[in-house]
Amino acid sequence: MRIIVVGAGPAGSTAAETAARLGADVILVERRMEIGSPVQCGGFIPEASELRDLLPDAVLPETLVEIPERCILNRTRIQRLYAPSGRSAEFPVAGRCVDRRSFDRYLAHRAARAGAQLIVGTEADVRGESIHLKGRREGIIDADIIIGADGPSSRIAEAIGAVQRDEPGICLEYEMVDVDIDRDAAEMYFGERWAPGGYAWIIPLGDDIANVGVGVRRSYIRGEIDLPLILRRFVEEHPHAGRILRKGEIVAVMRGIVPSGGMPEIIQSGRFLLAGDAAGHVMATSGGGVPLAMVAGRIAGEVAATHARGGDLNVYTQRIEKELGAPLRGSVIIRRMVDRAMRSDRSIDMIFSLLDPMTMKDIQRGRLPAPLERLRSMFTL
């Protein structure tokens, strides 16, 4: 029984390690020459206690509960949100700001030590019953099970007709140094001028180092999207962020796409399973996906490996639903409710005035609290 995992991000490496530890013959294929690079994520992962609250029905992989200290650049204790008016709200969130290059390689190393074969710098395409490899490794590999963990533009998802719901977020991020940030706080900024249809963020990586980015949606922007302009404007002109960022220096530029519509209707078809961004395993309220990807990767690895002993691949969708379904659905419902508000700074400011900080924390976790229910008449699905 051979399992091919396509994509060596958190979902793919977790799936590969899990299946290999259960005795399966696993090949992990990564199109990039260097696992973990380029970085396409802000690198914020809540502490295990927060994750148990966020995903109460999920079994968290060990690698998500205990992250090596060498992979953690900073720890935060607050999440702070800024309205367009400049009004702020904050609530406690214990978080780990990780070096994604180091963390992704750590997960891949574990997969290799568990017995998975790694192939990097190689693209994988589905052709009939086989996987065709192109790049550093050329040829055809037969597989009994294929796990697609190859990101939001997944070729495996395309091959089985899985269509992502709703338009994705489009992100651009700088790593900046010599910035005057609050290293205890992960910050989110809202407003038409700063991040239309999404939000801007500052994730502290140390005393004077931060990931600074914007995520927007195309339908909220008139004309062509100029992400560099939007991010530069946020860094230089935002009344608060500009003051603490504009003297900093950019040491890296990162881009990415983030699904925002939850799971497609198909995440398993025949011998194909999807996990992580390829399966829309992302909280639509925040764009956070690493914890969900790793839970999904663990489930995919277990289901694939036990299939060799007579297990049913069709249980994959049910197991994902049991562990991740409620928070994923809740986050999509909430995001769609506030979509209309995102088109008006006045509406966003009103939401900030109506909701207390702990209610905002619940919303981030995909829970629809009573105060937000009252907004349904104004911001309908």
Topology at the third CATH level for domain 2-73+98-166+262-332: FAD/NAD(P)-binding domain (3.50.50)
Q: Please state the pTM of the whole predicted model.
A: 0.94
Token output for 299: 């489930």
pLDDT of the residue at 381: 41
Average pLDDT over every residue of 218-233: 91
291-349: pLDDT as tens digits? 999 999 999 999 999 997 788 999 999 999 999 999 999 999 888 888 878 888 999 99
Average pLDDT over every residue of 260-282: 94
Return mean pLDDT, the chain.
Answer: 92
> Order of strands, edge to edge, in the sheet holding 139-142?
122-127, 130-135, 139-142
5 phi/psi in degrees, rounded to 5: -110, 125
Report the half-sphere exposure of 80 (CA within 13 A, side-chain side).
19
Q: Which run of H or of E encompasses 3?
A: strand 2-6
70-115: pLDDT as tens digits? 999 999 999 999 999 999 999 999 999 999 999 999 999 999 999 9
* pLDDT above 80 (res 377): no
Q: Rounded to whole angstroms, how far apart are CA atoms 370 and 353?
A: 15
Lowest mean pLDDT among 54-58, 206-210, 219-223: 219-223
CB 201 within 8 A of CB 165: no
161-219: pLDDT as tens digits? 998 878 899 999 999 999 999 999 999 999 999 999 999 999 999 999 999 999 999 98
Q: Rounded to whole angstroms, how far apart are CA atoms 258 and 82?
A: 21
* pLDDT above 80 (res 368): no
